[in-house]
Amino acid sequence: MVRRQNVARYLLRRLNSGGRGTRVEIHPLNQSQVPRPRQRVVEYRSLNIRQWDALVRAWTDGNDAALDDAWVQQLVDLGSQWGRYEYVTNVGFAA
C-alpha cells in the first residue's frame, strides 16, 4: 500500500500527460476454458484515457469497487461495444 502511494503521484502525472492522456491496449478475457460454442470473438482494442485521477486514486486506495466504477466510466468511449471490455485480462500502457 505504501509503495502505491509513493508511485501514484508520479504515475498520475505521466498517465494524464498534460491533458493528452495515455493510450491503453485492452485485451479481452482468455476464453480458452470456455466450451467452443459459447466462446465469443472479442478483439483487442485501444483507447485513449485522458483523465486517470479516479482510476489511480482507486488503485492507490486498494478500492476494487471504485476501480471498477472508474474503469466502466472510461469504457463508455468505446461506444456500443463497451460491455465486451468490462472484464479484461490486462490493461497495458507505456508510461
The CA-CA-CA angle for residues 14, 15, 21, to 5°, reads: 120
The model's pTM? 0.78
pLDDT over 60 (residue 56) = yes
Q: Which domain holds residue 17?
A: 2-92
Asked if 46 contacts 77 with a C-beta cutoff of 8 angstroms, the reply is no
The number of folded domains in the chain is 1
Could you write out the three-class secondary structure of the chain? CHHHHHHHHHHHHHHHHHHCCEEEEEEECCCCCCCHHHCCCCCCEEEEECCCHHHHHHHHHCCHHHHHHHHHHHHHHHHHHHHHHCCEEEEECCC
**1-48 tens-digit pLDDT:** 678 888 898 999 999 999 999 998 887 777 788 898 988 877 888 889
pLDDT of residue 86: 80
